Amino acid sequence: MIVTNDFQTDLDTLKDTFQSITAESCPHTYNFHLHTHHSDGQLRPQQLIQQAIEFDLKSLAITDHHSVDGYWLALDILQSHSQEGSQPLPHLWTGIEITSILLETQVHILGFGFDPNHPVLHPYLQGSAPEGDLADAAQVILALHQAGGLAVLAHPARYRRSTKELVVAAVQGGIDGVETFYCYGNKDPWQPSPAQTKALIQLASQYGLLQTCGTDTHGLDIRRRL
């Protein structure tokens, strides 16, 4: 379970995981979009990890806005559980959500599998959205790549620009994947929105993109958004 220092090896494994994701993967097997109170979520990292263990997740990522503080605390908690050796544990990946500008539109870019100590990410770990050139989507993607990670366009159908335009522009900027499986609304139980999912599967196939899933949890249950 424990994240190693061999980020390239981890990245290969992470790509394999993303390539295996389907509409049924989230929220019961994988969840790659979760927030804690270290940004705009309500869960403490300990609560989030307890739910991940309880629900038997295989792997997850905490994607707080402009912070990895929740990740470090969650990693400590998982390592403590690992030493107890009482039950199988999920794999925790590094994660972040960065506010960016793409086609003059504010979008969110998710980062996964990066080295959280890499200096290129320091401007993006200050708890607030980047400004100026640092906010340019291509620059955010480049920084995540330089830190050894993957960049994914979050909830591509939520913005004030067509999904296709944004995905094409993100591809031109070097994006690795799209958050294909996302619930556009606070449905219970959580499920990917059919029309948006279909369109994003087609775009991901056309441009050779990885596909991710996540509940975008901001509330107290990792199986829902709110």
Residues 168-199 pLDDT 10s: 999 999 999 999 999 998 888 999 999 999 99
Please compute the mean of the pLDDT values over residues 55-69 and round it to a whole number.
98
Averaged pLDDT for residues 102-109: 98
Residue 214 has pLDDT above 80, yes or no: yes
Confidence of residue 6 (pLDDT cuts 50, 70, 90): low
Spell out the residues 6+ positions from residue 18 whose beta carbon is closer than 8 angstroms to its own. 150, 177, 210, 211, 212
Q: Residue range 131-145: average pLDDT?
A: 98
**Would the pLDDT of 81 be above 60?**
yes
Distance CA 226, CA 222 (A): 9
Give the other-Cβ count within 10 Å of 81's Cβ.
17
9-21: average pLDDT: 93
Residue 202 has pLDDT above 50, yes or no: yes
pLDDT for residue 2: 44
Instruction: Output the pLDDT for position 86.
Output: 67
Confidence of residue 82 (pLDDT cuts 50, 70, 90): confident
SS3 of 60-110: EEECCECCCHHHHHHHHHHHHHHHHCCCCCCEEECEEEEEEEECCEEEEEE
- Tell me: pLDDT of 37 over 70: yes
Query: Across residues 45-51, what is the average pLDDT?
Result: 98
Rounded (10°) CA dihedral 5, 154, 68, 16: -20
In this prediction, residues 25-44 reach a mean pLDDT of 98
Half-sphere exposure of 213 (CA within 13 A, CB side): 28
Mean pLDDT of 99-124: 98
Q: Looking at residue 5, what is its pLDDT?
A: 45
> pLDDT for 122-136, tens place per residue?
999 999 999 999 999
First to last CA, the chain: 28
| ∠ CA 184-186-188, rounded to 5° | 120
b/e string for 138-157 if b means 16 or more Cβ within 10 A? Answer: bbbbebbbebbbbbbbbbbb
What is the structure's pLDDT at 185?
87
